Amino acid sequence: MDTKKLDWFLFCLALVVLGAVFFLVVNFLPNQGGASENTTLVFAQWWQDELEKDALESIIREYEALNPGITVLLTHRPYEVMAGELLNPADEAPPPDILGLDSHWLYELVRLEMLEPLEPYKKGGAELEKAQVFPDEKQGEYENWAVPLVSFMAPLFYNSALLEAAGFDRPPKTRGEFLSYAKALTDPPRVYGMTLALSPENPQGLYRDIFSWIWASGVEFTPETALNFTHPAVIETLDFLNQLYQEGLLSPSPFTKPEEEKRREFTEGRAAMMVGSVPEINRIMEGNPALSFGISTIPSADKYLDRPVFGLTTWYAGISRESRHKDEAWAFLSFLTGRRSFLAAMAHAVPGNGDETNETTVSAGENFLYAKAYDMYTAAAAADRFVGIPGLKELETILREELKAMFEGKRSPGEAARTIQQRREALN
């Protein structure tokens, strides 16, 4: 072999050896730089369609740009699917790292040890200020498991044109007024005074269409006071709802009606009033741009003279106990919490920390109803009163069954309240 060929052979051999060494270093030696070069975080949530288009995706793109090597995979997981996957993880699928939660799920997720405690991460990294996490002291025990991002309130929606045609120049303020309005507005089957959506497939139906009226009477349910359905104000609320049904003022089939059908009845003018979440404003406008409608506080019990009360539902986020990238998940959760005001604006909600300075009114643009909703929120008493209460899924079933029995005349409001209480206590 001549000298040139030998040199070429040795040069090629050196390239092969160097390539082999590089492969071994990259693939088999420990990473000394902390986070791996390519980490995928799975963000399982159910809110994606509740936000303005691409809102979550824009936050993720922003985070990935600031953190090269981190990819956040967004997946849609209703509670039943998420809980099932956490209880029975599949070996071939990576577990979720960040969980997007509803406040009503927290008790069970903590009880089943599905959430990672956050306290060690707060001490070791970017700590979230306590004032930003569960401002309501009654919810303080959960600050170690999840952080609130945005909260939703549910006002009364009313059809302005129908009210004006019936001779009303403002929405009803009390239950007595509401009954009078509903009687004047109801002309079956063309239009009904109010519509309810209590289908089991509508997880928020009971909280919006039943508990909103209970909160408006000033009743407070907390883990400390338990759920006292025999409270006189609760019985009066059941009596009020039963009167609406018995007098034919509610649109038919409330227990099989999904939320979409309730909104459609209101949008098409077949229901004069409904209780709905603030994001419904945009959906109603898209469904019927010509509809003239407004929002107001939930009519209170006639004897209640304190501040209006709204029950809130809240989106939370936590770290899965099964996550394989908990430090990276904490970093993303901290970033997500810092974008709370943006999320609130994109959901037409309020920041989950109760901060009164957010982008909601700015994002409202020409639509004054979002600004009005925020003004109502700041002037009212509001709380997410189901955080930390056990057995909510079972309670939902009991409530639907007993409300249906009451509407069908099988129970009086007092009997329905006592039966709900007895069945609720039997769960413990």
**What torsion, rounded to 10 degrees, do the Cα atoms 175, 180, 181, 182 define?**
90
Question: Which of 69-78, 169-178, 225-234, 294-303 is predicted with the least confidence, judged by mean pLDDT?
Answer: 225-234
Q: Is the peptide bond before 189 cis (omega within 30 degrees of 0)?
A: yes
Asked whether residue 17 is domain-assigned, the answer is no
- Whether residue 18 is contained in a domain is answered as no
> Residue 197 domain-assigned?
yes
Q: What is the pLDDT of residues 210-259, one digit of tens each?
A: 999 998 988 776 655 567 899 999 999 999 999 999 999 999 999 999 99
Which tens digits make up the pLDDT trace of 318-351?
A: 999 989 999 999 999 999 999 888 888 888 777 6
Is 223 within 8 Å of 389 (Cβ atoms)?
yes
Answer yes or no: is 268 within a domain. yes
* Number of independent structural domains in the chain: 2
User: Is there a domain that residue 127 lies in?
Assistant: yes
Q: What is the pLDDT of residues 80-135, one digit of tens each?
A: 677 677 767 766 677 899 999 887 888 888 888 889 998 888 765 555 544 333 33
258 and 205 share one domain: yes
- Using the Cα atoms of residue 198, residue 200, residue 202 and residue 203 in order, give the sign of their dihedral: positive
Looking at the structure, do residues 263 and 183 belong to the same domain, yes or no? yes
Say which CATH number the domain at 170 has. 3.40.190.10
For residue 123, what is the enclosing H or E element? helix 119-124
> Is pLDDT at 43 greater than 50 in this prediction?
yes
Are 247 and 325 part of one and the same domain?
no
Query: Is residue 304 located within the same domain as residue 335?
Result: no
Domain contains 45: yes
Exposure string for 165-182, b = 16+ CB within 10 A, e = fewer:
ebebeebbbebeebbebb
- Domain match, 183 and 100 both: no
Judgement on whether residues 107 and 172 belong to the same structural domain of the protein: no
Does the reported pTM lie above 0.85?
Answer: no
**Which structural domain range is residue 83 located in?**
39-151+314-363
- Residue 185 belongs to some domain of the structure: yes
Q: Give the residue carrying structure tokens 């050196």.
A: 14
Same domain, residue pair 140 and 122:
yes
Separation between Cα atoms, residue 226 and residue 277, nearest integer Å: 26
- On whether both 215 and 355 belong to a single domain, the answer is no
Specify whether 112 is located in the same domain as 195.
no
Residue 250 lies in a domain: yes
193 with 288, same domain: the answer is yes
